[in-house]
Copies of this chain bind each other. A is one copy, B any other.
Amino acid sequence: MKKRWMWFHDRFEPTEVHLHGFSDYIAGKETEYQRIEILQSPFFGKMLVIDGDVQSSERDEYIYHESLVHPALTILKKPENVLILGGGEGATLREILKHKTIKRVTMIDIDRESIEFAKKHLKEWHKGAFESEKLNLILGDALKIVNELKEGSFDAIISDVTEPFEGGPSYRLFTREFFEKLKRLLKKDGVFSLQASMLRNVTYELHRAIHWTLKEVFHLVFSYYSYVPSFDTTWGFCLASDELNPEDFSIEEIDRRIGERIEGELRFYDGETHKKLFLLPKDIREILKKKTNIIEEDKPFVLPKKNSL
């Protein structure tokens, strides 16, 4: 291997830091909202880092994006109209478009520069999805734009925004008030799924708060997680709905729907994966049982900025 000496320090906790050596610093950009950097890691391939936080890596982004998108879309009878929040690298969009039933995807991202950056540097993620005629890309603040969208019109909403870092663009998108707005945009049997921060026995506070905040708004809320190697951790997601329960679906039914609807291939998600995702070990179930404060516009949950200096 080429000898190299540049490292990205990903600090999770004051005393826990993961160092990723990189062979090339592919690109870096300070946009109005965030600092975006792309590294070439000998182990993980291209890595996308926003504000010092790994967003995804070439070798394992499929785990994250399939976990975020497919449980929600697959349990829907016929997903046609989907809203994405964030998801600037284009991989969430890419996964949604694999469902042949999809007619239109509306995507709201606050950061025009970051979308341009992704189009140019992250082809392995979006794979041309930004060119789809089904895409309606809106550049702006989701907080406001959701007010202008038609109520009751979406089969699914997928939130793929960055972590709610202090001073960042995302923390206001994890509140009860915002979730209520999203619910109004959904059809009656619509589904909301979102990336919901780390979920593991030693780190769960934010996830649990999101879980309980969603429960204020939706009848049915499910937490699940997938292990994403470049994150060092199992990553949490929530799926919320008033009517649909992912536990009701057999392995065979999920596999049947995938067979019918998916164009292209899924690498992570199928019937057995689905069944696994919606079973949780005892310790995590115990953690989630304990009710927390609800996240609200005037009581947001913010994470301290990433820092290794």
Contacts and interface: CB of A to CB of B under 8 A. Distances in A.
Interface of A: 1, 3-11, 13-22, 24-25, 28, 37, 41-44, 49, 52, 59-60, 62-63, 200-203, 226-227, 229, 232-234, 266-270, 272-273, 275-276, 279-283, 285-286, 305-309
Contact of A276 (B200, B269, B276): B276
A227 B200 contact: yes
Interface of A is mostly: mixed
A227 B229 contact: no
A63 B272 contact: no
The 8 A-B pairs with the shortest beta carbon distances in the complex, nearest first, are A15-B21, A276-B279, A5-B52, A3-B307, A25-B25, A273-B281, A5-B308, A17-B19
B282 A44 contact: no
A239 to B, nearest CB: 17
Nearest to A200: B229
Most B CB contacts (10 A, CB to CB) among A18, A42, A309 go to A309
Nearest to A53: B5
A285 B25 CA distance: 34
Contact of A52 (B3, B8, B232): B3
